[in-house]
Amino acid sequence: MSNSLQDVVVVGAGIIGAAIAHELSRYDLSVTLLDGEAEAGFGTSKANSGIIHGGHHTDTESLKGRLEWQGNQLWDSLCDELGFGFARVGELTVALTEADLPALDRLIENAEEKDISGVKLWSRDQIRAAEPQITRGVIAGVFSPHTAVVNPYEAVFGLVEAAVANTVTFMANSPVTDLHHDGNSWMVTTPDLTLGCRFVINAAGLGASTIANMAGVDGFEIRGRKGEEYLLDKRLRHLVRHIIYPCPTPVSKGTLVIPTYDGTIMLGPTADDVSDLSDTTTTTVGESNVFNDARRLVPSLSERDIIAQFAGTRATIEGDDFLIGPTDAPGFINVAGIQSPGLTAAPAIARYVTDLLQEAGLEMDPKPSLNPIERPVHFASLTTDEQRTLADADERYRHVVCRCEFVTEGEVCDAIERGATTVDGLKFRTRAGMGRCQGGFCATRCIELLSADLGIEMSEVTKRGPGSWLVLDRPDAEPTKDRS
C-alpha cells in the first residue's frame, strides 16, 4: 500500500520526534510521525529523569550547550499551551570536598558566558538554610533558579496530541522496516504501508543508527548507557525543595535527588554502558550505588522507602555533542545521540530542525491559526468546589479508580479518548498505578475500562504493547461486558 507524497516523515515519537512533529504542525505541511512502540514516548523518554536543566552545565562551544539554554526558555510557553506538569524548583550543585570547587567555578563561568542571570555561588550556611536535610559535610554550592521538573511522558503526549490536532498523522506500532530513495522521493516502509516523502527526520533514539544505515548513511554508532532510577514514598515529598546535584563527572551529572512534579522523590540515574540496547533491568548493584551516592548528599535516605524502580537506556554516540544535521542522502536529516540535556533542548532542537528543512528547500508557510487542545483534568489538584461541580456534571468523576493517587474513572476514560491504548499509557497520563501499591488496587479496573472503551477483550489489553498481556484468555469465557 502506498499513500500520497508527504512533505516530511519523522521517525521516532520520543520527546525529540514529538517536539519536531509539534513544531512542524504550525506550518502548512503534510507530516507523518512514526513509532514502533504501542504509544508515543514508550522508549527512552518514559524513563527520563524529567529535569529541565538550567543551561549552565554546558559551555557555549557545542551545539548541545547552545540548544540547552534556548530550550530551557521555551518550556514555560509549551506548558501553558499543552497543560502538562511543569515547575521551576531550582537546583543546587554541591561541593563536598575542596577538589570539587573548580567544578563550581566552571558552572559559574558557563552561566556568565551564556548571560544566564541568577546563577550564584552559595555558602555552606546558605545551602543548609535552604535545605536542612542536606549533608553537614557540604562546603559550597551553585544555585540556579532556572532548573525545572517536568513529567516527560505527559510532555510527549501533549506534543503529539497537539500535532495531531493540527493535521499531523501519528502511527504507533509502526516500526520502519525499509527505507530507500527512488530517485525522486523517500519510500518509508512499515509493516502496514509504504509512505512516500520528500524529507525524512531520523529521531529514532536507540534505533537511529539502524535507520541511518537503511538510508545508506553511516558515520555513527549508537551505544547504550543505562540509567537506573528509584522512586520513594510520597510521605517524603518535602524532604528537599530543590534538585540536588553532586559535582558532575565527564560521564554524567551524577546521582541526583529530585523532587518530581507530582511530589515523589526520585534518586538516580546510574550511567552504565551496556551492549544490549534493550536492557532496562534494575540491579542490586545499581540500587546500592544510587543510595550510597545519594546519601552523600542527603544522609536520611533509605531503601525502605522505595515504591518503584525502573531503568532507561540512553542513546549515546562517540563525542560529547548532539548529531543534528543534513547528510549526503538528499532530504535525510539525522537527529541522533540526543542524551542529556536532550529533554531540556527538545523544543529548541525542533526549531533548529525546522530551520534545516527550510534551508533545504521546504516551503514553510505558517498556518493562519492552530487548533488548541483541551487541558487534561487532574481531579486531585482541583478545589473541593471544582471537584463537586465536575462530579455533578459527570458521574464518572464520582468513582475513584486509583486510591493512592486519587484518580477518577472520568480521568481514565478521558485518557483513553485522548489516545491511551495500554495500561502504561493510562498510568503515564493519569498516574493511576503510580502510588504506593503500584497498581495493586486499580490495575484490574483500568483493564476493564480499556476493554470496554476500546471494544476489545480484557485478554487483549496489554501493559505496554504486544507481548505484555495481563489477563489470560479462557476458551470457555463469555465476552467481556461493559461494567462502566
**C-alpha Rg value of the chain to the nearest Å:** 23
423 CB neighbour count, 10 Å cutoff: 22
Q: 21 and 13 in contact (C-beta within 8 Å)?
A: yes
Q: Find the helix packing angle between 63-72 and 342-359, rounded to 10°.
A: 110
Helix (H) or strand (E) holding 251: none
How many C-alpha atoms does 70 have within 13 Å on its Cβ side? Answer: 16
120: closest CA among 144, 147, 94, 148? 144
Active-site annotation holder among 53, 56, 57, 242: 53
User: Which amino acid is located at 444 in the chain?
Assistant: T
How open is the CA angle 122-125-127, to the nearest 5 degrees? Answer: 55
How far from chain centre, in Å, is Cα 382? 25
Q: Residue 245 has which C-alpha cell?
A: 546535584
Give me the DSSP letters along 153-191: HHHHHHHHHHHHHTT-EEESS----EEEE-SSSEEEE-S
Amino acid occupying residue 381: S
One DSSP character per residue, 390-401 reads HHHH-GGGGSEE
Q: What are the start-end ranges of the E strands in 288-409?
A: 306-316, 323-326, 332-336, 400-402, 407-408
Cα–Cα separations (whole angstroms), residue 374 to 82, 319, 415: 8, 41, 12
DSSP character for 2? B
Looking up cell 512533505 gives 7
List the grid coordinates of 37.
Answer: 512502540
The rounded distance, in Å, linking the Cα atoms of 278 and 362 is 35
User: Taking the CA of residue 205 as centre, how many other CA atoms within 13 Å lie in the half-sphere pointing to its CB?
Assistant: 31
How far apart (Å, rounded) are the C-alpha atoms in residues 195 and 32?
Answer: 9
Say which residues have a Cβ less than 8 Å from residue 90's Cβ, sequence separation at least 6: 143, 144, 145, 146, 147, 241, 242, 243
Strands 223-232, 265-268: pairing kind = antiparallel
Decide: 255 and 290 in contact? Cβ < 8 Å.
Answer: yes
Active site residue 56: no
Return d(Cα 22, Cα 367) in angstroms, integer.
13
Cell of 303: 531503601
Positions annotated as catalytic residues are 53
